[in-house]
Amino acid sequence: MNMELQTSREPMPLSGEAIRLMNYIDDVAVTLRRVLATVPTLSAEERARVAEHLLQAKPNAEDVAQALAAK
């Protein structure tokens, strides 16, 4: 009789709210891909201004990651 101990559990099902948030994150990723696809069309000055705008945007991904990591 071969009995194996299962040490890994199935992941807990996500709530609708968690799935919705993950979909929002996917939407942001799509938007960033569009931004990246357009960057080569910008002049150096435009790239600098867009970069500054991106750096000043709040909340940003780091803010969200910190909120998710908070206990």
- pLDDT tens digits, residue range 4-37? 655 567 788 999 999 999 999 999 999 999 999 9
Residues in the chain: 71
Peptide bond into 59 cis (omega under 30): yes
Work out the number of other CB atoms within 10 angstroms of the CB of residue 33.
10
What whole-number distance in Å separates Cα of residue 27 and Cα of residue 29? Answer: 5
pTM of the model: 0.74
Summarize pLDDT for 44-68 with one digit per residue, the tens: 999 999 999 999 999 999 999 999 9
What whole-number distance in Å separates Cα of residue 7 and Cα of residue 62? Answer: 33
